[in-house]
Amino acid sequence: MRKNKVDIITLGCSKNLVDSEQLMRQFKANGYTVEHDPKKINGEIVVVNTCGFIGDAQEESINMILQLAEAKKNGKIGKLIAMGCLTERFLDDLKRELPEVDKFYGKFNWKEVLSDLGKAYHNELSDDRMLTTPKHYAYLKIGEGCDRTCSYCSIPIITGKYHSRPIEDIEAEVKLLVKRGVKEFQVIAQDLTYYGLDLYKRMALPELIERISDIPGVEWIRLHYAYPAHFPYDLLRVMRERDNVCKYLDIALQHISDNMLKNMRRNITKEQTYELLERIRKEVPGIHVRTTLMVGHPGETDQDFEELVAFVKEMRFERMGAFTYSHEADTYSYNHFEDVIPQETKQERMDYIMRIQERISTELNEAKVGKILKVIVDREEPDFYVGRSQFDSPEVDPEILISKEKELKVGEMYFVEITDSQAFDLYGKIVDL
């Protein structure tokens, strides 16, 4: 065990990561050495920021806690603290089942970690954080919670009603991060499109993005997790007019058959979904749409799945992921449907649809060969520099492997000619324009 060291382990989504980064900054202000997801976990204090979204994520979080409990028993670490979505949702159960954990905190009261340790919480640093990402990009959380009623989703149970952050607070955070060298912002929320309704009684996302876009030093803004129903169409104008707003939209569609959209309580129809996608692509030429789809929700017939397959083939999404339905306690689906589709069938459907998407991705990447893209360099590896274009979000999207003919700086942007492609990667060389 290393004295005065805090290890913070983050599981789940990038929204959790922002919370971890804020906590890390507070520990640092209190004189601790802080490491995030260290190769060697040996801290005097270890904090696990858990995920509670679906069964697999919950299992990962519990296994991590059990692993750390064993390390604590063997004297390798000191205090063990758990926080985040899993603990918010199952607090009483976890306290009973995991007595090895010194203290549990939920999703929103983690600031008490400091005071419970007898340390100060620095209010003046409440929006400050230690970045765990490369210093040129950061995640920017603009809201928390969700007001949607999707049948399968436990997030509203965990996080409660939607709470938008004031525009001024977000602007101040962006300016602070720009001063530290951040030039690319991944704007995140459980539901971007709802932003502002609670604070301003209007959909304020287009205005927010314009105001962030106006801040000197902001080179790329990328949007994650839009909701298709009641989409704020003025956002498309902003994306089209602002050069530093990436032509990229992450919008979870989940399904296409009217039967499933109704069962899922998505508040949109098949026809409206097609109209939305047509308008997005028409108003923002060249946009790359990322979506996620769900298979195996109660009531999904072979015909529903065939409709989904036809939809994927027709729309040719630039970016797409899929996951199988998880029967989560206390959700609408859990209370109103039986989880009757076998896991094997769910997995087969997901694998099938992802094979189709792999072929589409291969073809779309092939079409980029010969084109010149603006690329930001994320890291250097022995044989290549690794970067991304405006169409690629970190960790989830294809990377561009740049030949080492010239010396490049991590965090800088260059023009790259695409010379070759694979399903999920592109290859390129630097060009002077």
Question: What is the mean predicted confidence (pLDDT) over 93-119?
Answer: 89
Query: Cβ neighbours of residue 276 under 8 Å, at least 6 residues apart?
Result: 228, 231, 268
**Assigned CATH topology for domain 372-430:** OB fold (Dihydrolipoamide Acetyltransferase, E2P) (2.40.50)
Q: How confident is the model at residue 2 (pLDDT cuts 50, 70, 90)?
A: confident
29: confidence class by pLDDT, cuts 50, 70, 90: very high
Q: What pLDDT is stored for residue 432 in this prediction? A: 87
- H/E stretch holding 135: none
- Determine whether 410 is exposed, middle or buried from the number of CB atoms within 10 Å of its CB (0-12, 13-18, 19+): middle
Burial state string for 143-175 with b = 16 or more CB within 10 A and e = fewer than 16: bbbbebebbbbbbbbbbeebebbebeebeebbe
Q: Residue 421, CB half-sphere, CA atoms under 13 Å: how many?
A: 19
For the chain, what are the domain ranges?
Answer: 2-125, 137-366, 372-430
Report the relative pairing of strands 143-144 and 413-421 from DSSP bridges.
unpaired
Output the pLDDT for position 54: 79
How far is it, in rounded angstroms, from Cα 384 to Cα 394?
17
Which pair of tokens denotes residue 343? 């896991």
DSSP string over 252-303: --B---HHHHHHTT-S--HHHHHHHHHHHHHHSTT-EEEEEEEE--TT--HH
pLDDT digits (tens, 9 = 90+) for 373-404: 999 999 999 999 999 999 999 989 999 999 99
Q: Yes or no: say if 294 and 328 are a contact pair by the CB < 8 Å rule.
A: no
Angle at 293 between CA 291 and CA 296, to 5 degrees: 175
Q: How far apart are the first and last CA of the chain?
A: 54
pLDDT average, residue stretch 402-416: 95
pLDDT of residue 55: 77
Is pLDDT above 90 for 127?
no
Q: Full-prediction pTM beyond 0.75?
A: yes
Query: Which CATH fold would you assign to the domain 137-366?
Result: pyruvate-formate lyase- activating enzyme (3.80.30)
Question: Helix axis angle, 270-283 relative to 234-241, nearest 10°?
Answer: 30
Q: What is the pLDDT of residue 324?
A: 96
User: For position 153, what pLDDT does the model report?
Assistant: 93
Range 408-428 average pLDDT: 95
pLDDT computed for residue 226 by the predictor = 95
- Reported confidence tier of residue 214, pLDDT bands at 50, 70, 90: very high
Question: What tokens appear for 58 in the block?
Answer: 């919950």
- Asked if the model's pLDDT at residue 56 lies above 90, the reply is no
| CATH for 2-125, options being 3.40.50.12160, 3.90.105.10, 3.30.750.80, 3.30.465.10 | 3.40.50.12160
Q: Whose CA is closest to 413, among 385, 394, 393?
A: 385
What is the model's pLDDT at position 39?
87
Mean pLDDT of 415-429: 94
Average pLDDT over residues 252-265: 97
